[in-house]
């Protein structure tokens, strides 16, 4: 079987052993095993997509806020001056 040789070629012998175990079961049990595996894969996929969308929205909101601060206010300039002044203070101490 081409799929089994693919798994053994890449050192995935555990998957190969599990596929052999499933092949020895009754047909109805094979269907149950495959359906449960597909459900777990789909749930994991949608959970990953949900977290990705949340992270993307958080990054977009933070980026929009920083863009507003950069273009419409002088807050970032004052922070930059504060940091550079603090750096001069540190170099003068030592």
What is the per-residue pLDDT across 7-27, written as a single tens digit (0 to 9) for each? 566 666 777 777 788 888 888
Structure tokens at 63: 């980026």
What is the per-residue pLDDT across 51-82, written as a single tens digit (0 to 9) for each? 999 999 999 999 998 888 888 888 878 888 77
Structure tokens at 44: 């994991």
> Distance between alpha carbon 81 and the CA centroid of its chain, in Å?
36
Q: How much is the average pLDDT of 29-34?
A: 87
């Amino acid at each position: 079987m081409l799929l089994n040789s693919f798994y053994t070629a890449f050192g995935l012998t555990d998957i190969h052993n599990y596929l052999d175990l499933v092949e020895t079961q009754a047909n109805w049990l094979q269907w149950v095993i495959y359906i449960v595996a597909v459900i777990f894969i789909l749930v994991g996929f949608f959970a990953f997509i949900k977290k990705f969308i949340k992270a993307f929205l958080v990054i977009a909101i933070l980026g929009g806020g920083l863009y507003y601060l950069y273009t419409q206010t002088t807050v970032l300039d004052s922070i930059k001056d504060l940091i550079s002044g603090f750096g001069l203070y540190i170099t003068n101490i030592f």
